[in-house]
A and B are shown apart, each in its own frame.
Chain A
Amino acid sequence: MRVGDGAAASVYGVSRSRTERLVNLVICLLSTRRFLTAAQIAATVPGYEHDPDDAREHEAFQRKFERDKAELRELGVPLETGTASAFDVEPGYRIARREYALPDIPLKPDEAAAVGIAARLWQHAGLAAAASSGLAKLRAAGVDVDPQATLGLEPMVTVDPAFAPLTAAARDRREVRFDYRVPDRDAPDGRRLQPWGVVCWRGRWYVVGHDLDRDSTRCFRLSRVVGPVRVTGAAGGYQPPVGVDLISHVARWSGPVERAGRATVLVAPGRAAGLRRWAVEVTARPEADRLVLPYADACSLARHLVGYGPDVRVLDPPEVREAVIQRLKEIATRHDALAAVR
């Protein structure tokens, strides 16, 4: 347990006097215009009382004060360090009100409702807590949030564990290293990246940046990052290209979508409902309906059509027809051999 915190525990199981001391420290440093030295703070704020001439007591105070400063900084309290005058050697502390206070955010009721809905989007993971504490600050600034409001649509947002470290690294322009596993590889590869930004595209998260080993722009899927993201570079270590369009890198990478090709197939009546849905032309005939299907890539169309087995027969184009027959032969051979073994 903590040294020197001999207070009664509250329902939080946290020392009450420590919280009290920290609140008083914040109020004290907000109220002062002069920088206050550690000794001045110890003499003022309750909870730091000690005999500065007793080496052990003084050391305990210093440790306590260091821990308190760290906790305030972790909360985002802008602790300034400086000296009160040219004659002072000891550093002093204060909190500039302008830096501390949330600026006024004049949200109209419908805007406040939108922020309230947004704060609920994060399903679990780290950012759910950040979203609700952020919303609590807006409420404290006088914004009223209608908890019942909806926008008719509830997006649910999940992020991969690599989201937070990669976003922070991209913001601070710090080089990172991580292990990346592509499904068709046996083991993850180590990657070194200057991240430019993080993108959500079609419900998946990606990081875009300059891959240092390949010396070119690369996208990485966050769900494939294995283990921790290690920050290896100093802040401001590089400049992303001006006006970079992050989305376009990912969109380009995730393949063509335009379906310019047309294939003609025969489909058994009442079968292959999935194909009928995206046919651009259906001619009903008693023994087999004739469908015209738009497609982008002959190979992936062939795979898809093979799935329907004898319910679908390709007429045209020949490349799709041949690909389908080839695939069917392979499957039949492979599974015939298997049946023979059984």
Chain B
Amino acid sequence: MRAQSRTSADRLARLLNLVPYLLARPGIEIAEAAGDLGVTERQLREDLELLWVCGLPGYGPGDLIDMAFDGDRVTITYDAGIDRPLRLTPDEALALAVALRMLAEAPGVANREAVERALAKIEDAAGDLVAAPVEVRLPGDAGRVEQLRAAVEGGRALRITYYTVARDETTERVIDPLRVLLVGGRTYVEAWCRRAEAVRLFRADRIDAVTELDEPAVVPPQARPQDLSEGVFRPSSDLPLITLRIGRGERWITEYYPCEQVESDGERWLVSLRVTDLNWARRFVLGLGPDVTVVAPAELADQVRDAAAAALDAYATPEPTGVDPAAATLRQ
């Protein structure tokens, strides 16, 4: 029932909007109008039929909304007084104003000045509705993003020096860029990676150097932008699963990483999550607070213990001071 009343409200809103829309575009093709308004041609024709029997009290021929058809084109010849769209609702004003503020704040965005002018005009038209106190700040390296955006717009393949956290390594690779994205406050270049032979997201703050190559970016036909509506990292079930026992102080993990299972075990929690790489998991576990133990896999537990033991051994041996003995040997 509720869904149905929503559809009814949507249709009424669309009809009240349709008359001024057509009024502003005499002789528009029905297909074009339908595309613009996000409805099918059949829906649009039904809407027009309905409007045709609506009008001013009296409801005589001179009172009803009238329109002239010329082939596939339509012109409103009498609007019965609905010549302007309804003003923006609070939600509409907020949705547009907040999105414009996001755009204006996005580091490295092109034509920021036009965004700011548009925002001022929308705020002006919406009046009190956008008094909703919403502020946006998206810190980022604007210079770097600007450079990446220009490189992507240049339509050339790029050679990048990229730091991969999962493997803790910096590599050179050639990419064919698709687009520059801002997700969750971070900027990414989405591109076909010739090294991985797949579409990859490259975080702007991990791109250490960019060179534009003398060849055009060629994105293979099978390359598709990824669906990021569920976030940037969506763990798949073929990745290694690790289980940790954590104390209260490390509960933040469950908020920061997508976890498959979080189970209380009295004072501690058993947490399972997918990781892209066990070496990353080793660095991750070593870097956590004191109250963490690896439950599974055993391989990871061994790696963590061995790494800690080896590091302690190194601290136990005297470190090189002053003249480096190895360097001195080499010089001889």
Q: Does A214 contact B (CB under 8 A)?
A: no
- In Å, the complex CA distance between A24 and B51 comes to 9
Which residues of A307-333 have CB atoms within 8 Å of chain B's CB atoms? 307-310, 312-313, 315, 325, 327-332
CA distance A167 to B13 in the complex (A): 24
Q: Is the CB of B135 within 8 A of A246?
A: yes
Whether B143 sits at the interface, judged by CB under 8 Å, is no
Complex Cα gap A22–B128 (Å): 27
Q: Are B4 and A111 in contact (CB under 8 A)?
A: no
Q: Which of A10, A104, A131 contacts B92 (CB 8 A)?
A: A131
CB pair A327 B114 closer than 8 Å? no
Closest A residue to B164 by CB, please name it: A273
Chain B nearest Cβ from A43, distance in angstroms: 10
Cβ B137 vs Cβ A151 within 8 A: no
Q: Is A193 an interface residue (CB 8 A)?
A: no
Q: Which of B191-199, B213-221, B234-242, B324-332 contacts A (4 or more CB under 8 A)?
A: B324-332
Q: How far is the CB of B36 from chain A (nearest CB, A)?
A: 6
Most interface-central of A139, A204, A309 (chain B CB within 10 A): A309
Whole-angstrom distance between the Cβ of B206 and the nearest chain A Cβ: 8
Partner of B103, one of A133, A151, A276: A151
Q: Does A200 contact B (CB under 8 A)?
A: yes
Could you mark each residue 189-211 of chain A with 1 if its beta carbon is under 8 Å from any beta carbon of chain B, else 0?
Answer: 00000001111111110000000
Which residues of chain A in 254-285 are interfacial with respect to chain B, using CB atoms and an 8 Å cutoff?
266, 271-274, 276-277, 285
- Contact status of A335 and B301, CB under 8 A, knowing A139-B36, A310-B314: yes
**Are A277's CB and B293's CB within 8 A?**
no
Whole-angstrom distance between the Cβ of B250 and the nearest chain A Cβ: 8
CA distance A106 to B17 in the complex (A): 18
Q: Chain A at the B interface: mostly helix, strand, loop or mixed?
A: helix
Contacting chain B: which of A50-58, A82-90, A118-126, A229-237? Answer: A118-126
Whether B255 contacts A336 by the Cβ 8 Å rule is no
Query: Are A71 and B8 in contact, CB atoms less than 8 angstroms apart?
Result: yes
Query: Is A251 in the interface zone, CB < 8 Å from B?
Result: yes
Cβ of B289 and Cβ of A28 under 8 Å apart?
no
CA distance in complex: A100, B12 (Å)? 15
Given contacts A18-B8, A76-B86, A152-B149, contact A102 B109 (CB under 8 A): no
B263 within 8 A of A: no
Also in contact, A126 and B91, with CB within 8 A (given A76-B86, A330-B290): yes
Q: Does B96 contact A (CB under 8 A)?
A: yes
Residues in chain B near residue A153, CB distance under 8 A? 106, 108-110, 145, 149, 180-182, 187
Q: Are A336 and B99 in contact (CB under 8 A)?
A: no
Say if the beta carbon of B53 comes within 8 Å of chain A.
yes
The distance in angstroms between the C-alpha atoms of A44 and B56, with both chains bound, is 10
Given that A23-B15, A75-B89 are known contacts, is A325 also in contact with B312, CB under 8 Å in the complex? yes
B43 partner residues in chain A, CB cutoff 8 A? 11-12
Cross-chain contact B80 with A171 (CB below 8 angstroms)? no
Contact between A327 and B290, CB atoms less than 8 A apart: yes
Q: A60 near B: Cβ within 8 Å?
A: no
Supposing A122-B95, A309-B311 touch, asked if A103 and B50 sit within 8 A by C-beta, the answer is: no
Q: Digitize B124-160: 1 where CB-to-A-CB distance is under 8 Å, 0 elsewhere.
A: 1100000111111111000001000110110000000
For residue A30, which residues in chain B have a CB less than 8 angstroms away from its CB? 81-82
Chain B CB within 10 Å, residue with most, of A19, A140, A199, A274 = A140
Give B184 Cβ to nearest chain A Cβ, in Å: 4
A321 to B301 Cα, complex, angstroms:
24
CB pair B307–A140 under 8 Å, yes or no, is: no
Residues of B within 8 A of A117 (CB): 103
Contact with A along B84-95 (1 / 0, CB 8 A): 111111111111
Which of B132, B139, B326 is close to A167, meaning CB atoms less than 8 Å apart?
B132
Point out which of A118, A168, A184, A200 has the most chain B C-beta atoms below 10 A from its C-beta. Answer: A118
Contact A197 B134 (CB under 8 A): yes
Contact at A27–B301, with CB atoms within 8 Å? no
Given contacts A19-B11, A103-B87, A133-B92, whether A328 and B311 have CB atoms under 8 Å apart is yes
**Nearest CB on B from A24, distance (A):** 5
B89: nearest residue on chain A (CB-CB)? A76
Mark out the residues of chain B between 28 and 73 whose CB falls within 8 Å of any chain A CB in the assembled complex: 36-38, 42-43, 46, 50-51, 53-57, 59
B287 contacts the other chain (Cβ, under 8 Å)?
A: yes
Measured between C-beta atoms, what is the minimum distance from A185 to chain B in Å? 8
Contact A335/B9 with A164-B91, A274-B163 known, Cβ cut-off 8 Å: no
Interface residues of B (CB under 8 A from A): 4-5, 7-18, 20-21, 24-25, 36-38, 42-43, 46, 50-51, 53-57, 59, 80-82, 84-96, 98-100, 102-103, 106, 108-111, 114-115, 117-118, 121-122, 124-125, 131-139, 145, 149-150, 152-153, 163, 165, 168-170, 179-187, 208, 228-229, 248-249, 251-252, 254-255, 264, 282-284, 286-290, 293-294, 298, 301-302, 304-305, 307-315, 319-320, 324, 326-327, 330
Q: List 28 A-B contacts (CB under 8 A).
A: A13-B4, A14-B7, A24-B54, A45-B57, A74-B9, A75-B9, A105-B125, A107-B121, A110-B114, A114-B111, A117-B103, A118-B96, A121-B103, A131-B99, A133-B13, A134-B92, A134-B93, A134-B96, A142-B20, A142-B25, A154-B181, A157-B98, A171-B132, A203-B185, A247-B135, A273-B168, A307-B286, A307-B287
- A-B complex: 9 closest residue pairs judged by Cβ atoms: A203-B185, A197-B133, A134-B92, A309-B307, A307-B287, A101-B84, A118-B99, A335-B305, A142-B24
